[in-house]
A and B are shown apart, each in its own frame.
Chain A
Amino acid sequence: DTAVSQTPKYLVTQMGNDKSIKCEQNLGHDTMYWYKQDSKKFLKIMFSYNNKELIINETVPNRFSPKSPDKAHLNLHINSLELGDSAVYFCASSPPGLSDEKLFFGSGTQLSVL
């Protein structure tokens, strides 16, 4: 019954590899996001999709490619992983209308690049 679920929870991989993180929400929200939380706990938005369309693309290396097959899913694919990509990645969603800023976060994916 988890509202925003992302997998895997932990991801340990070598530099140069390609990996994906999946996210699904069953809240009926229109907007989904990817946030990166670094070791200092700073939460920074990476991407935002509204109804499958990209609306926010922060200054993120093009090694990061989000994909939204439908409005309930937003996956993140990362190519050629680097040490600096190590962080916790949070998926989030928000409802439509006046409450569209209220974020519901997934449980996070801790990515460790060795």
Chain B
Amino acid sequence: GENVEQHPSTLSVQEGDSAVIKCTYSDSASNYFPWYKQELGKRPQLIIDIRSNVGEKKDQRIAVTLNKTAKHFSLHITETQPEDSAVYFCAASQQGGSEKLVFGKGMKLTVNP
């Protein structure tokens, strides 16, 4: 089955800096890679996703890149703000297959004002 590794487990940056969160996956058949943000005490929420036919996707200050050959994908946050502080989860699945979405263990991002 799919295994998703996420690193680092914690990251602290200064407001305005960029943050990068990296994930690797094991199953080459996986073709859907979402990112979820979970603020303290809140529910996880989808912030961006990418499918394997695309190498990069951007939405305002966040972008995701995918390297299918190396089986890794990354979330990039530019011009970080204190409200970006949260736990970020990457995940992978095989769209249309019976495989479930497999989450990484999460990364706690702290943006210091």
Residue B73, interface by CB 8 Å:
no
CB under 8 Å from chain A, chain B span 28-46 = 32, 34, 36, 38, 42-46
Q: Mark A33-47, 1 if CB is under 8 A from B, else 0.
A: 000000011111100
Contact A42 B105 (CB under 8 A): yes
Q: Which has the most chain B C-beta neighbours within 10 Å: A44, A45, A103, A104?
A: A103
> Which residue of chain A has the shortest Cβ distance to B106 in the bound complex?
A41
CB under 8 Å from chain B, chain A span 73-114 = 90, 98, 100-108
Chain B residues with CB under 8 A of A27: none
Residue B98, interface by CB 8 Å:
yes
> Which residue of chain B has the shortest Cβ distance to A40 in the bound complex?
B105
- Cβ-defined partner of B87 (8 Å) among A41, A56, A105: A41
Contact A105 B101 (CB under 8 A): no
Contact A43 B46 (CB under 8 A): no
Question: Which residues of A are in contact with B by a Cβ distance under 8 Å?
Answer: 40-45, 48, 55-56, 90, 98, 100-108
Other A-B pairs beyond A44-B103, A102-B49, 4, CB < 8 Å: A41-B38, A100-B95, A101-B101, A102-B34
